[in-house]
Structure 1
Amino acid sequence: MNDHYLKKLDRVTAILTQLQSKPIVRAQDLAQKFDVSVRTIYRDVKTLENAGIPIVGEAGSGYSLMEGYKLPPVMFTKEEVLSFITAEKLMQKFSHQSLGNHYQTAMEKVRSVLKYSDRNLIQNIEKQIDIFQYHAATEDTIKDVLPTILESIGEKRQLTIEYKTVDEKISTRTIEAVGVFFEFNYWYIMAFCTLRNDFRQFRIDRILKISKTQNPFLGEYGQINDYRKTGNGNKTVVRLLVEKKIMGFLVNSKKYYGLTKEADTENGMVELTFETESIKDGFPRWLITFADFATILEPESLKIQLNDLLSQIASKHQ
């Protein structure tokens, strides 16, 4: 069998896997995924149909497997099996606790369809991989909070939550969840709040009660990152000159604090430009962690805030 037919066999098998895992698969998306023409995908789908696979749909509208059609369990490659082990370790350390048990049962199902040799591979390797977590995991007051949120997003149903704010005040909100995200050791919901008539983020461990309603969403929402990039408009431009040797320590945090531009300078430094909403508190407290390697170019008010903060710290520890 020549290389052309081997590639086609791999591609047709992968298309079948896509059909098993998604309700609708578009030819354009498959062509982009496998870097071939749409006409090639049409021929591949025809190959599957000729092999007796009942595919519903047509060119231009998308394909799916006939309802109720069952296929034998998918066989995994050795590389895929090894990736499962690493993913399981990551889930154990970083997944939300309300998803942990569900992921564990899902992995048990995956293990059940593995070849005997692959099950031995997992047993021999899984104790040789570990993920070190330097922050204590947060605990929720209610069970299955994250699955409830994700179900509401999928069903486009409003949620009612009882929420405790940072100053210990408790309020009841009706929200339309756009998505969830994990940042700095906490899980958050990005949602439209009907009380504030605006988008807000809520820390999941501060939710005291949650329930799905029968009320549908009032609006159509895009991806979660579309909302995380927007703020309340009260942003301050900050420019810093930072020594290049510490840039590796700022990889994630610089984006969180509103990085908009990064450029190397002639003297071996890096000029960072930010648009931040936390100029009075969060930004100077973050800057203090590497202030000895940085120079503030603007605004002048940030220099004053940083010096005031350093003075307060110094007076506390004299």
Structure 2
Amino acid sequence: MAQPPPDVEGDDCLPEYHHLFCPDLLQDKVAFITGGGSGIGFRIAEIFMRHGCHTVIVGRSLQKVTTAAKKLVAATGKRCLPLSMDVRVPPEVMTAVDQALQEFGKINILINCAAGNFLCPASALSFNAFKTVVDIDTIGTFNVSSVLYKKFFRDHGGVIVNITATLSMRGQVLQLHAGAAKAAVDAMTRHLAVEWGPQNIRVNSLAPGAISGTEGLRRLRGSNASSKLKHFSNPIPRLGTKTEIAHSVLYLASPLASYVSGESSRGYPPSSSLKIGSHVHYVAEDDFTKEPPCQFLQCLKITPKASSRFNQQNQLICTSSPGDLLTHKLRTQDSCFEEAVFFMGNASCLA
């Protein structure tokens, strides 16, 4: 099996990079990247710049994107314009796009990567909390796409890649708001591809699964989330990396994908959920003596739906049908977690 490309956990540039694509694949193109100051957006900006592209990275914190831009310029030698912008506020979007066009004279690529998420059961989700995620993920994507279309893409063509999520493919707990918001973006992708195709505008979306070194993984699964994952049921039994996602976005944004539009490409597994059924998943017992696997162990009332046992390696073996929530008592040397919740949700949280 091919080894994944090198990556780093934090928001820093790669210490070295070996091109898999032609180094001038995006030579002198300009990419406008929302959420480009950290995580996947930061790595997309870096990989684009390593292939000849200039970038505009935008976020709500000017200090954050300015720091990120300095790192990107130092590592790649290409130009990077940091701008402060809230995707939920159309006047701010218009101002940022105008500044980018004034600086570079064009924008060829839009990457909608700004997002917001948190864990919350639907029964406890406030109206405002739901609206906030939809405002950032869905309406924010429309705002930036619409402004760029009117100011440049309509007359010059362009490429849009929306970074969504696999949450919309299959129901799971605590992610109603994000799943609904991302599903809307996937639908938007298909509609815009049809409407704007005649203006030589391609629109695609890419939905990563669980990706290491991202704020989303840390926030939703706790610290050291990557180290807690023992086995996956997806064909490549590991977390994806930010560099791998950036390479996929690079393909979609480049001339290599000139006949690809309206596509929603997904990471594996298709729902970002565990393939349960007949699969067996292992979680080391000592992971739970240090820190519960998720932030919400006490927020749901659970009915046991599956059996469990410990194997000779002192690992908990859980089996379940899709969507089941499990309740178990975890045996440890010093403590016992009563009613600990194991849910079959994102691949980054094994039962």
Q: Structure 1 length as normaliser, TM-score?
A: 0.27
Larger Rg: 1
Greater RCO (Cα-Cα under 8 Å, separation 6 or more) = 2
More strand per residue: 1
More helix per residue: 1
